Amino acid sequence: QMHLQESGPGLVRPSETLSVTCTVSGASLDGSTYYWGWVRQSPGKGLEWIATVHYGGHTYYNPSFRSRVTVSMDSAKNEFSLTLTSLTAADSAIYFCARDTGHHMVTIFDLWGRGSLVTVSS
């Protein structure tokens, strides 16, 4: 059975860069046909889709984050990652990684990790 597990730094200082990684177990990313995404949740902005990556190298970004975000995949490590630059307090949130439904939908997810809480504070 496939599982997703996020790992993040917990606390990040303003203006710095956030890196969060999602490790996939129970299946291989190598050659996977699924789309793999990031969604965050905060009290102020609710749920927000951030970005999605596919094994074939295609990436998709929410325009609201486009200038600050990068999503990538390392199939050898069976993980994919999110990088978000120029952090402010508004980026404090729970960051979820997730997998699409298998119907090639870029922003709908039916398997989720438990989330990684990130706080931006000095």
Of 108, 117, 119, 121, the residue at the interface with other proteins (CB under 8 A) is 108
The reply on whether position 68 binds other proteins by CB under 8 A is: no
Enumerate residues 74-103 that contact other proteins by CB under 8 A: 96, 98, 101, 103
* Identity of the residue, 8 or 113, whose beta carbon is nearer to other proteins in the bound complex: 113
Is residue 55 a contact residue for other proteins (CB under 8 A)? no
Work out the widest C-alpha separation in the chain, in whole angstroms: 42
E strands of the chain, at which residues?
Answer: 3-7, 11-12, 18-25, 35-42, 46-54, 59-61, 69-74, 79-84, 93-100, 109-112, 116-120
Give the binding range for other proteins (CB under 8 A) out of 9-17, 41-49, 69-77, 79-87: 41-49
The DSSP output letter for 44 is T
65 makes contact with other proteins (CB under 8 A):
no
The enclosing H or E element of 33 equals none
Which stretches of 2-93 are DSSP H helices? none
Q: Could you list the residues that contact other proteins (CB under 8 A)?
A: 39, 46-49, 52, 60-64, 96, 98, 101, 103-110, 112-115
